[in-house]
Amino acid sequence: MPRSQLNRLKQAAPAIARGTAALLIVAATVVPIVCMGWTSLAVFASVVVGLNLGLWAGRDSGLASFAGAVIMPSLGLVIAFYSDVQTFGPNAGPIAVNDIARHSYAASFRFADARVATEFTGAVTSHSLFGFQPTGGSWRAAPVIGPDWTPASPVAAWAVARASGYGPRDFRTPRNWQQPYRAAVRYVLSDFSPAQSAVARATERYDLKTTPGAPLLIWVEDPRSVIADERTFLAWVVFGSLMIWLLFSLGAAWLVPQQVPVANPSSE
């Protein structure tokens, strides 16, 4: 490698290191907030923390600062808007449905004897973030009940699903409600999700009562594999952001002309 290109690579190394640290800090900050269901706070943290770290990572030039101010907050916003499964937390089970309130921090559940009461389903049409057009499906909610539950009893947990048209490979599909899985992962309720509206529709339509703070669950066969897939998604998002920053840093180092030192006339 020519000496000039090697020098350019050395000049890009600090920016690459700062960008890598910034991306990891943004992800480590936003993911726990999302798992707690505080989407608005996660959006705020993505913008504030990501913007400051992006400007710090690209402090060598105005163009690098602009790129950092775009890439770092974007990583946090993608995590905040597209993560709807609690990816970190203990596993609970096998438990009774009425005991679910004792496991408020659990990420996944296995029930001793439970089913989704599809005869009490509430549904709402899903919309895009700004409500302009449907995203191709609807959200549905139905009570998760034990063998001794009656419509007069409060609902301890709700199963939510999205009929998105992605077929049986989508673990959020309501088709899972027909299966005797007796397992679920915790759905992270965001401020932009219509899942809570589906719950309200079911309680109003069938005159049901719900326990305060009743969790929303996604009915799945293997909670561990679902959580592992969601963690893989987060890892790919971070990796993709890192690759974009790496390519930008290397491209800027190779394409931006180096400043040639000007000789001091007084020394001649």
Model confidence over 41-78: pLDDT tens digits?
A: 999 999 999 999 999 988 887 788 888 899 999 999 99
Domain encompassing residue 138: 91-221
Rounded to whole angstroms, the Cα distance separating 25 from 30 reads 9
Residue 145's pLDDT is: 92
Rounded to whole angstroms, the Cα distance separating 245 from 262 reads 32
State percent of the chain over pLDDT 90: 44
The per-residue b/e assignment along 206-226, b for 16 or more CB within 10 angstroms, e otherwise, is eebebeeebbbbbbbeebeeb
**Do residue 131 and residue 20 come from a single domain?**
no
Structural domains in the chain (count) = 2
Torsion angles phi and psi, residue 147, rounded to 5: -70, -20
Whether 53 is covered by a domain: the verdict is yes
> Which of 101, 85, 92, 94 lies closest to 211 in space, CA to CA?
101
pTM for this prediction: 0.78
pLDDT score of 241 more than 90 = yes
**Do residue 111 and residue 197 come from a single domain?**
yes
pLDDT class for 127, splitting at 50, 70, 90?
low
Torsion angles phi and psi, residue 124, rounded to 5: -135, 150
Whether 265 is covered by a domain: the verdict is no
**Do residue 17 and residue 107 come from a single domain?**
no
Whether 52 is covered by a domain: the verdict is yes
* Helical ranges in the chain per DSSP H: 3-35, 39-57, 62-82, 195-206, 223-255
- Hey, what's the torsion of the CAs at 169, 174, 180, 185, to 10 degrees? 80
Whether 267 is covered by a domain: the verdict is no
Model confidence over 9-44: pLDDT tens digits?
A: 677 788 889 999 999 999 999 999 988 878 889 999
